Structure 1
């Protein structure tokens, strides 16, 4: 009798164990199906639907590192950066050798202040991506933000060597050239990027700045509109506001600048532009107030010293105006150099 009871217990255990295996296999198959559906939705640009499917896959299989990675990719494309980083970090906690997750996390960090973390991750996988043009572009993003233009330039040359049609590489190269006041080369790089990808919004925006530097604000506005039509970035909106100020559309320009400041209260360029608005309205104290805010946030903002000099000149403070233009000259700003030559000798 005892023997029969033990046999019955083993039989019951076998049924329970088999049912558990079946349930796990079913959950895994369901998870894989949701994962595939997420991939399809992502390729179609249905980001919210893709996130939903990947989340379903994760709920069925909580250790599904690929689902976390892919969901993070969609979230990054949806400008949900913090959530994307959390997903990539989770994917790596489940599989520390997940190379693609390391790359994605490195790229996500490059869009934050975690530049050292980004660089560390990207360096870890360098040998795996030695033939990837886009890897070198991502690496250049970090180096540019660290103001290491020389190394960033080298990485971009690697990217272009691997793929001459990489519009992002040409856009970044143009940014470096513009920052180094090589406007002719920058224009050529941005135009090449746009020819390769007519939806390269950053290239349109940066090319608009080249034309603004030439005082061709009508062309700058045209290019700015193209950038905004692709991506309603506050940076682009702020630039358009500045261009409008320069063609006398002061209130329209201020409206866009105010919008940019509301979206990002630490936008040094927007405060410079607000200062320009008040300068043009001859409200010199308000102009100074906003230029000082801009300077505290980022003293390297282009033409800031030129406009501060103009404001002091309007207040009949020639000595102070020349001081600001002298600083602008050290930054190799042509308008400050011209004002210094014209008014300070």
Structure 2
């Protein structure tokens, strides 16, 4: 499951509207505000410069470390972000938002057990905040503890029932355990909250595909793409559906587009292997599917199409 985007820039600490008479305190506050302004202008490099100036004045300034970590995230510098979050937490041990962001970063880095520790800390700090249970759900999903993930997302949704992303996460877990009817019921409720949520339509397309309703799958994923053209896995899914509608070259084009957008997505490589099986190209199919079967033996369709490739 694709992790949902949290707009943490809304949490930038711009509350420094009043400062003490101390000149250093005022200076570091102004640098923090200037950095936040640059973040709002989508200029994280310049923002980091201002945060560094604030830290020169006060090397224990947790908010500056936190905001600098967000700037690193914007530049996809996850390891550097984690280092800054470590410092933010060192100088402010109960820093809820820093634990939350660090947990998300650990997930991005594949450090799932460290992310679980941060999720546990969030529960200790505030078990009535939906983010505590949201992070728990993301972690348990990555660790393949799907019933626990579902419980966590349900709890998060109870606390924040207007958040359609949390409902889609529940539907995704039900999809993983092949409860398609349950997943569709939850998606219907999410539609009433936010019909413009692209992941909702993408997930519905995946259910249609499992039900072999390929035209319906195409329509649903096209809706997702129309709402968000930046997600590589939307194009990959549409490419897969086109393969099963015997539009192989159009499907391959979209799969290749997805790989260019996200070269690390193994599902796109799987779909390319499926394309070569459908084309009867044994050598090329085995090139993709053999390695995927070794790395991801539980991935849907891999074993099935590897066997078909071997029999070509």
- Pair in the same fold by TM > 0.5: yes
Give the structure 2 partner of residue 269 of structure 1: 267
| Cα distance, 1:82 vs structure 2 | 2.8
Quote the residue 2:168 is aligned against. 171
**Contact (CA 8 Å) 1:105, 1:118: kept in 2 or not?**
yes
* Structure 1 pair 203–50 and aligned structure 2 pair: CA distance change class (3 A): farther
- For residues 278-317 of structure 1, what are the structure 2 equivalents within 5 Å? 278-311=276-309, 315=312
Paired position in structure 1 for 2:80: 83
Match of 1:139 in 2: 136
Report whether the alignment pairs 1:129 with 2:129.
no
Report the Cα distance in structure 2 between the residues aligned to 1:179 and 1:274, rounded to whole angstroms.
22
Q: Per the alignment, do residues 46 and 268 of structure 1 end up closer, same or farther by CA in structure 2, a change over 3 Å counting?
A: closer
Q: Secondary structure at the match of 1:135?
A: helix
2:215 — aligned with what? Answer: 218
Q: Could you tell me which residue of structure 2 aligns to residue 100 of structure 1?
A: 97
What CA distance in whole angstroms lies between the structure 1 residues aligned with 2:128 and 2:119?
14
Please list every run of 5 or more consecutive structure 2 residues that lacks an aligned counterpart in the other structure.
1-20
Matched residue pairs, number?
290
2:51 to 40, 54, 65: 54
SS of residue in 2 equivalent to 1:127: helix
Structure 1 position 117, deviation (Å):
0.9
Aligned to 2:194: 197
Equivalent in the alignment of 1:336: none
Query: Which of structures 1 and 2 has the larger relative contact order (alpha carbons within 8 angstroms, sep 6+)?
Result: 2
| Range that drifts further, 76-85 or 287-296 | 76-85
Give the superposition deviation at 1:202: 3.0
CA distance in 2, matches of 1:188, 1:309: 35
Distance 1:31 1:199, change over 3 A: farther
CA contact (8 A) 2:164 2:193 kept: yes
When residues 100 and 300 of structure 1 are mapped into structure 2, their CA distance, relative to the original with a 3 A threshold, is same
* Within-5 A mapping of 1:8-87: 25-39=22-36, 42=39, 44=40, 46=42, 48=44, 50-51=47-48, 53-76=50-73, 79-87=76-84
In structure 1, how many angstroms separate the alpha carbons of the residues matched to 2:163 and 2:47? Answer: 27
What TM-score do the two structures reach when normalised by structure 2? 0.80
Query: Could you tell me whether the CA contact under 8 Å between 1:238 and 1:270 is conserved in 2?
Result: yes
Greater mean deviation of Cα atoms: 192-201 or 111-120: 192-201
1:125 alignment partner, SS class: helix
- Greater percentage in helix: 1
Pairwise CA distance, 1:145: 0.1
Q: What's the counterpart of residue 242 of structure 1?
A: 240
Counterpart secondary structure, 1:58: helix
Q: Distance in 2 between matches of 1:210 and 1:61?
A: 53
Counterpart Cα distance in 2 of 1:143 and 1:47: 34
Q: Normalised by the size of structure 1, how large is the TM-score? A: 0.73
CA drift at 1:69: 0.8
Higher Cα Rg, which structure: 1
